[in-house]
Amino acid sequence: MSHHPFDSFRRRVHHARQCGDLYFASLISKETIESVFGEASSILGAARIYNTSVMLWVFPSQVMSIHHGCVSAVAKLITYRVANGQPACSAQTGT
């Protein structure tokens, strides 16, 4: 029985979604994003909080969540930042 190359990725996404965290951060590293986007990552790279990596971690998790709201996505980012020794960002979503 052969396995599809994305089976492992799908399992990891499924597991991460059950945990409710900022799962794309564990699936796609900042270094990978920077290498793929190259100079284009500088468009958001100067942003203090919402740089290219963060946008690629937060937005898909927002779209894939049950709630689809900014509040939930920002809460996940705050949790991720604090868990990684960074200061919490503002919970204000601008909506």
pLDDT tens digits, one per residue of 78-87: 988 898 898 9
Give the residue with greater pLDDT, 43 vs 50: 50
pTM for the model: 0.68
What 33-37 contacts at long range (C-beta under 8 Å, 24+ apart), as own/partner pairs, is none
Going by C-alpha positions, the residue among 16, 15, 36 that lies closest to residue 24 is 16
Residue predicted with more confidence, 17 or 35? 35
- Please state the domain extents for the chain: 30-95
Residue 46 confidence class, pLDDT cut points 50, 70, 90: low
Which is more confident, 31 or 39?
31
